[in-house]
Amino acid sequence: MKKLIISSLIILGVVFLANKLSAQNPIPSFHVPIIVDPTIFEEVIPSFNTQFSYLASTLKQPRSIDERRLKVMVQSPPSRQLAWAVVIVYSLDQQSTYGPFTVLEGEVHESIIDERQWGVRVMDSSSDCLLSVWIE
């Protein structure tokens, strides 16, 4: 009986961790290769003494909540065709979803967001494209 309980706990732990470790990237992220669809970017609240606290402090901070803009930019490696990605912008509390939006190389997609935490899901993309996601 003990072996069954321990085995069940181990299996549950592995399933839980595998779900959490799927292709997730923090916001801000720059030049991330999109290898699998969907790829997820989620806003990280900077905490003291983390790599994201330094990165977030280098970006221009908004003056008010009304000025928050989530930006998505697509790039392709040199000597490749035009890159593109289809993205959905969503709040992490799952109350709001915007999109899908097609973002082409050379343009910056901008979504106005509020004070909640937000994420971007890449639903489809050209091969070998690079995605940058940040908030201003």
Per residue in 61-86, pLDDT tens? Answer: 544 556 789 999 998 877 678 889 99
What Å distances lie between residue 122 and 5, 58, 89, 116, CA to CA? 38, 25, 9, 20
Tell me: pLDDT of 14 over 70: no
Q: Which domains does the chain have, with CATH numbers?
A: 23-135 (2.60.290)
Sign of torsion over alpha carbons 88, 92, 94, 95: negative
How many H helices and E strands in the chain?
A: 2, 9
pTM of the model: 0.67
Quick one: which of 127, 126, 43 has its CA closest to 89? 43
